[in-house]
């Protein structure tokens, strides 16, 4: 029995493709958790990163907070929240958001700081408003790096969202945890393969977004 054997057995079993414990359901659940957590993390990290990066202030405080946040153990946070507030989706969202905010925030800040200052100076000198400078000059130039920050946040969420299964929720973590419990290694490997596949798909999505959103002039010169 090798790894590929497990994978093959898992995916060829038609029972795994139907019902509330089927692959499509679990994938959809996992995708749902990921999108929600990523959305929240972007909503928090991106504006703060953009504004602090634009004004160049608060960089030190920012990296301190980000480091502290990173040190929070995701699993521990999940258990703590569950103990305090009982079972619920919010207890899964908080650790996932906490996990993804630091890479998004810090990378966005760094991306904004590393924008060539001379187009920014030229834009101000031509009478562009501060918002114009931020969104029309700095952000387009910083976009590849900003996207890479969101991408690493997304990948971390995809792989960590398996913890939802520990507190009775769905997602691809179900296969892994149930499989371990039932000593059904076929299921464990199958679930892990799906998580890895989804992480790769996330990479592909970000590559595609980059192709569309980043100007050819920035892509080629950077």
Partner 1 sequence: MTGLDSPERPVPPGPKAGNSCQTRRVFGVLIRIDSVTKRYPDGTVAVDRLSLEIPDRSITVLVGPSGCGKTTTLRMINRMIEPSEGTILIDGQDSRQQPVNTLRRSMGYVIQNAGLFQHRTIVDNIATVPRLLGWKKDKARERARELMDRVGLDASLAKRYPYQLSGGQQQRVGVARALAADPPVLLMDEPFSAVDPVVRKGLQDELLRIQAELGKTIVFVTHDIDEAVKLGTMVAVLRTGGKLAQFAPPAELLSHPADEFVEDFLGADRGVRRLSFFPSTGLELTMAPVVTAGGGTEGASVDAEFLLVTDADGRPLGWTKPEDLATDGQLLPYGRPFVVGTDSLRAALDCAVLSPTGWAVAVDADGKVTGVVSQQTIAQAIRGAHDEGRTDADAKVTG
* 210 counts as binding partner 1 under rule CB under 8 A: no
Tell me the window of 17-25, 34-42, 123-131, 163-171 that interacts with partner 1 (CB under 8 A).
123-131
Min dist CB 54 to partner 1, Å, is 16
What 23-26 contacts at long range (C-beta under 8 Å, 24+ apart), as own/partner pairs, is 23/194, 25/170, 26/170, 26/171, 26/172, 26/174, 26/175, 26/191, 26/194
Q: Distance (Å, rounded) from C-alpha 22 to C-alpha 127?
A: 58
Min dist CB 55 to partner 1, Å, is 16
Nearer residue to partner 1 within complex by CB, 28 or 218: 218
Q: Distance (Å, rounded) from C-alpha 74 to C-alpha 53?
A: 27
Among 58, 59, 140, 210, the residue binding partner 1 under the rule CB under 8 A is 140
Min dist CB 194 to partner 1, Å, is 37
| DSSP sequence for 24-91 | HHHHHHHHHHHHHHHHHHHHHHHHHHHHHHHHT-SHHHHHHHHHHHHHS-HHHHHHHHHHHH-S-HHH
Tell me the window of 39-47, 60-68, 82-90, 128-136 that interacts with partner 1 (CB under 8 A).
128-136
Min dist CB 110 to partner 1, Å, is 18
Considering only residues 43 through 102, tell me which ones interact with partner 1, judged by CB under 8 A. Answer: none
Among 61, 129, 181, 197, the residue binding partner 1 under the rule CB under 8 A is 129
**Per-residue binder mask for partner 1 (CB under 8 A), 175-204, x = binder:** ------------------------------
Work out the angle between the directed axes of helices 89-113 and 74-85 (0-180°, nearest 10): 140
């Amino acid at each position: 029995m090798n790894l590929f054997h497990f994978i093959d057995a898992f995916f060829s079993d038609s029972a795994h493709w139907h019902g509330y414990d089927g692959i499509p359901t679990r994938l959809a659940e996992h995708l749902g958790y990921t999108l929600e957590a990523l959305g929240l993390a972007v909503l928090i990290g991106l504006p703060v990163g953009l504004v602090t990066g634009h004004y160049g202030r608060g960089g030190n405080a920012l990296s301190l907070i980000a480091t502290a946040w990173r040190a929070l153990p995701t699993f521990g946070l999940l258990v703590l929240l569950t103990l305090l507030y009982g079972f619920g989706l919010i207890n899964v969202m908080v650790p996932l958001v906490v996990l993804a905010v630091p890479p998004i925030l810090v990378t966005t800040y760094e991306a904004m700081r590393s924008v060539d200052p001379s187009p920014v100076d030229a834009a101000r000198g031509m009478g562009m408003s501060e918002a114009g400078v931020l969104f029309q000059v700095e952000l387009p130039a910083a976009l590849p790096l900003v996207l890479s920050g969101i991408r690493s946040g997304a990948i971390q969420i995809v792989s960590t969202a398996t913890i939802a299964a520990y507190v009775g929720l769905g997602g691809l973590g179900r296969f892994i945890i149930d499989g371990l419990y039932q000593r059904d290694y076929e299921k464990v490997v199958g679930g892990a393969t799906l998580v890895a596949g989804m992480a790769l798909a996330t990479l592909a999505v970000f590559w595609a977004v980059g192709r569309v959103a980043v100007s050819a002039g920035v892509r080629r010169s950077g």
